Amino acid sequence: MDAPELFTEFKVLLTQLDVDLRVEKGNFKGGICRVKNRRVCLLNGNTSLSARLKLLGEVLAEMDLSSLFVLPAVRDHIGPKIYTGCP
Residue 35 included in any domain:
yes
In a domain, 20, yes or no: yes
Residue at 22 is within a domain: yes
Mean pLDDT per segment of 10 residues, for the chain of length 87 residues? 93 96 92 92 93 92 92 85 40
Residues 6+ apart with CB under 8 A from 66: 85
Q: Does residue 87 fall inside a structural domain? A: no
Structural domain boundaries, residue 66: 3-81
Q: How far apart are the first and last CA of the chain?
A: 27
Instruction: Report the domain count for the chain.
Output: 1
- The reported pLDDT for the residue numbered 79 is 73
Q: Of the candidates 6, 7, 45, which has an alpha carbon nearest to the alpha carbon of residue 28?
A: 45
Is pTM beyond 0.75? Reply is yes
Residue 45: per-residue pLDDT: 93
In this structure, is residue 86 part of a structural domain?
Answer: no
**Alpha helices (runs of H) in 1-87, residue ranges in sequence order:** 3-16, 49-61, 72-75, 81-84
In the prediction, which pLDDT does 1 show? 83
For residue 77, tell me if it sits in a domain.
yes
Q: What pLDDT, on a 0 to 100 scale, did the predictor assign at position 14?
A: 96
Instruction: Give pLDDT, residue 80.
Output: 56
Nearest of 59, 49, 63 to residue 8 by alpha carbon: 49
